[in-house]
Structures are given as structure tokens and as C-alpha cells.
Structure 1
Amino acid sequence: MDYQFLAGILLFQGLSPDVLPDLLAGLGAGTRFYPRGEAVLRTGDRTGRLGLVLSGGVNIENHDAWGNRTILDHVAPGQVFAETYACVPGEPLMVDVAAVQDTEVLFLDMGLLLSGEGPHHGILLRNLLTITARKNLALSRRIFYTSSKTIRGRLLSYLSDQAVLQNSPSFSIPFDRQQLADYLGVDRSALSNELGKMRREGLLSARKSHFRLNVNQMP
């Protein structure tokens, strides 16, 4: 376990690497590897464990009865998932969690954390509250991205916000084209066509998951 890495992420902020081995043992920590495409959790599952991505990444997805996929979020290394459900372990998941590349996950027992018996549990709970607040903001951002009735409007909203969040007109996103279409709630072919138009108009350049916005040409 890379305790230096763990000490640098938000969940363990304020804790030194030296205390983490005993802390993790007290929270029933365990790791599991998931190959790309494998489900980590499925709709209807119940869990009492919080997941922390150590490497790779997972998408939080919803699939309707017709097989249409909506991507709600991407969870990168150092970020957590299923924390809300783990706090209410009898609540069935409304989403799937899927590995988008080979992924290693650290699981922590939320029941042991919420018991509040450990000397560092208060720090973890405060950090977890910050994480939850940030996730609420991320969901609010997605609502803004998808509020436009046009594909271009959704792309402009999402890409311009990514430029602001990454403090650069040149940035990478965690989605491929199909995943971006699923995240924005649009058809992939229509999204690709719109990106082609925006390139020809000089609004942006794009290669795979990397974009560069020509801010001088933005409407």
C-alpha cells in the first residue's frame, strides 16, 4: 500500500502516513482489482463499504430499460464512490459503477468509521463531508451542462467549464467520445458532427480526449 499517496488525497487530509496502516486495519480495509469493463457495483446492490480508487478509474452510470446509458460522473485515482450508499447500507444502488480501465479499489467499512471509536475518525468524517459537498457541486455542474436544448450549447458549457476548472484553454477530459455523449445526454454521431463543425469554425481543436479552445472565437 502506498501510504504516501493516501496521505496526499482529500479523504486522508490532515493525517500522516505513519498512522494509516493501523487506521486502515481498524476500518476493515481491503483491495480488489477490476479489469477494464468489469462492474464494481451494480444497480440494486447494497453496500456498507466506501470505495477509493487507487489506480485506473470508474464511471458512475445509469442504464434504462432499453439499454441507454447515462454517465453521471467519473471517479479518478484518489477519489471515492458509493459513500452515500455505504452510510445507508440497506439502500439499493440506483446506479452502476464500472471500471473504465484496469482499476484497483480500496474498500473501507463505513459502519466502523461511523462508530466514531477510532482516534482519527473525526478527521475522516470531516473530510468525507467536504467530499460529499464537492460531489453535490459536480452534479449541479452536470445539470448546467445538460440544460441547453442544443448539442453545441451542451458542449460549450462543458468544455468552457473544464477550461476554467483546469485553468487552461488546453486540457484533457476523462471521457472518450461515446462516454462524453453519454455524459451530456446526446447521440454520439450528432456530437461528433457538432465537434467537426466547431473545428471548422475555428472554435476548438480536439484529439481524442484532449481539447484546446480558441477563446478569441468563442461566441
Structure 2
Amino acid sequence: MADPLDVTASPEGMTECWEVIASATAWFQHTSKFDALPAIRAHGLKPSIPDEGRAVPPVDVLAIFGDPCRALLCLWPTGSTIMAINDSVNDQFVMAIDSVDLPKRVMLDWSIADQIGRRAALDTFRERLSSGSNVGVGDAFREAVWSSGCVAALEPIPPTMIRVCPAKYPDAPYSRWPLLTEVRDAEIYRITAVMNVDINAIFNPQQPSPSTDKSGG
């Protein structure tokens, strides 16, 4: 039997997955170390090999997607499961990406296993498509993303499409966060060593829950 993941690697399947996930929420988040700010200002967010370059894709995933899947840009859809912040890093900042700017080449994050309440995305996707419940590829993809709290982009996001949480108004809606290209470092909100923080609750409690309704913000 063919791996259900095969269909998400085709141009048509990847387009369907992008359309479903981009319409499910208005914003995606990414957290980075503050000392990475100069590079992000210069080059934007770029896919990288997880676990500081040590992680390797599962053999079956690598066979389907090829070498491009080795490097991921992990983005958290607003309203999904909690976002873990590395408690070994003292200076971090949060970025937001409008769903219309989500890179078109996306896949499930193979680097996330069952942890802190998340379901492994690949397992969820395969289970849903093999359950005999007539769930479509797009719906199964969305469920897998929400259960893991992450969608992986295979393409970079330029600095002109990145918004940052402002130090002065950290509770402002994402749509009012300034563009990275328009603020100084001192104007960006810095977060310190915490673990398993619900970024939505801290920064944007008024943001809508994940659904196909993208109003608000």
C-alpha cells in the first residue's frame, strides 16, 4: 500500500495542503534567539536542519520528499497547541507571518515527536487517512498540523514579510505588529527563560481560535 504521505509531496497535493492551512488561521508565529536578529534582518527566515543540524528525516520521509525536506522552517499556526520556548535561551523574540505570505511549499514537521501534549504530525496524518472515515488529504493535513502545533515550510520568508512583537505594546493584534524592516532592535519585545508558554495567551489573547474563519486581528 502506498504511503498516504506521497500525495502531499506532489505539486497538486502540496497546493491543497497550503490552501487548507493558510485558510485555517490568519497568522503564523516563529520564535528565534535575539542574537539571530542581524541575520534575519539581512536574509529573512530560512529553513534549517532541526536540532542544531543534528536531526535527520525518517527514511520514508526522505524517500518521498528528497533532500529539500532535510531543512525546515517551523511555523506555529495561531490557536494551535502550546508553543515551547527553549528555556536554555535567555533572549528570544516572536515574529508573525500573515497567512498570505506562508511559503507555498509546506509539509508536516517530521522533527516533532509526541511531547508536551503534541501528537506527532506524521502519525496523526497517516492514521486519519487510513481510518476509513472519508477524510480528505487537506483535512487530515490540517488536523495533523493542529495536533503538533507546527507546519514546516521548505522555502524562506523575506524580512519584508516578517512582523515582530513590539516592546511597547506586546498585547497588540498581530496585524498591528510592526514590520521587522521598520523597527530598531530596542523596539522589539524580548522574552526570557520560560518553558511551555502559550504565546497566544501572552501576546494575543484576543486572537480568534483556529477555524476556517480568518476574520479579526
TM-score range, shorter chain: under 0.3
- RCO (CA 8 Å, sep 6+): is it higher in 1 or 2? 2
TM-score normalised according to structure 1 size = 0.25
Bigger radius of gyration among the two: 1
